[in-house]
Amino acid sequence: MLKKRIIPKFLVRNGRLVKGVRFHENFREAGNPVSTAKVYDSYGVDELLFVDIDATPEGRPATGSIIERVSEEVFMPFTVGGGIRTLEQIAALLASGADKVCINTSAVEDPGFVTRAASRFGDQCIVVGIDYQRGPDGTQRVVSRCGRHPTELDPLAWAQRMQDAHAGEIMLCSIDRDGTMEGYDVDLIGRVAAKLEVPLIGSSGAGTLQHCRDALEAGASAITISSMFLFSDHSPIKVRTYLATNGVSVRSQKGSHS
């Protein structure tokens, strides 16, 4: 059985680590992304996820300089997202030290881009992020452009389509739960996981240790955690210990320098 992964999620703006609620509300600064990454590296987390949240609105790719600095300081795998639109941008981010890239808006606007990226760099390098939100009619729909552009796409059907396009992983991100610390969308995680063969990453909503367990037991192969690590006393060590104690298969505690 593949071990479940714990992935701290970093939202970066102007070179600083930030965190908001539901993508656009109540932003707080949360420190230096490089020094924070070093702390998580010492905790032995499985991966890191960096998202440059201003990249898409500003029409540019994620900033490579931070990626280079992180790659010099930590030795665990990490994924980079934000504003990725061309194969050349992916090549540059991978050359800067990223192990994977996360594609979101570009996948919605040009699904063939995912297939071309997977063909050139390998499925294992391509994560498709799916941001979604519940509309006034109660129906969940995919939203692109950093939560600003609603679509008619159903997140489950879109996840299946992106798997068929050769995405190596799918990440589900609930805008409604983002930063609320009220728990993951375990219903959708379960339904999507049942339809996919590629790994599914659950994102948005972690606030307690039980939330983490719930998402993984619902079928997620990995979970991202942001606010819970930044604004509570829960650490990756606590999460890993709790999960292992409760029968969830996770890696043993070991930093990448160990």
> Is residue 236 assigned to a domain?
yes
> Is residue 129 assigned to a domain?
yes
How far is Cα 75 from Cα 255, in angstroms, rounded to an integer?
A: 9
Kind and range of the H or E element at 93? helix 87-96
> Is residue 234 assigned to a domain?
yes
Q: What is the pLDDT of residue 222?
A: 98
The CATH number for 55's domain is 3.20.20.70
How far is Cα 110 from Cα 4, in angstroms, rounded to an integer?
A: 31
Q: Count structural domains, the chain.
A: 1
- Among candidates 142, 120, 122, which has minimal Cα distance to 133? 142
Instruction: Return the C-alpha torsion angle 10, 173, 160, 47, nearest 10.
Output: 30
> Is residue 142 assigned to a domain?
yes
Taking only the tens place, the pLDDT of each residue in 53-90 is: 888 888 887 876 788 888 888 888 999 999 999 999 99
Burial 19-45 (b: 16+ CB within 10 A, else e): bbbbbeeeeeebeebbebbbebbebbb
Q: Which two tokens stand for residue 141?
A: 């729909």
Kind and range of the H or E element at 78? strand 78-81
- E strands along 82-199, which residues? 100-103, 126-134, 140-144, 149-150, 169-174
> Is residue 19 assigned to a domain?
yes
| Global pTM value | 0.94
The whole domain housing 208 covers 5-245
> Is residue 225 assigned to a domain?
yes
How far is Cα 89 from Cα 231, in angstroms, rounded to an integer?
A: 33
> Is residue 25 assigned to a domain?
yes
- DSSP secondary structure string, 16-64? EEEEEETTTEEEEEEE-HHHHHHHHHHHT-S-EEEEETTTTTTT-PPPH
> Is residue 258 assigned to a domain?
no
How do the pLDDT tens digits run along the chain, 258 residues long?
689 999 999 999 888 889 889 987 778 888 899 999 999 998 889 999 999 988 888 888 787 678 888 888 888 899 999 999 999 999 999 999 999 999 999 999 999 999 999 999 999 999 999 999 999 899 999 999 988 899 999 999 999 999 999 999 999 999 999 999 999 999 999 999 999 999 999 999 999 999 999 999 999 999 999 999 999 999 999 999 999 999 999 987 665 544
Radius of gyration of the chain (CA): 17
3-state secondary structure of 198: coil
- Among candidates 61, 54, 53, which has minimal Cα distance to 179? 53
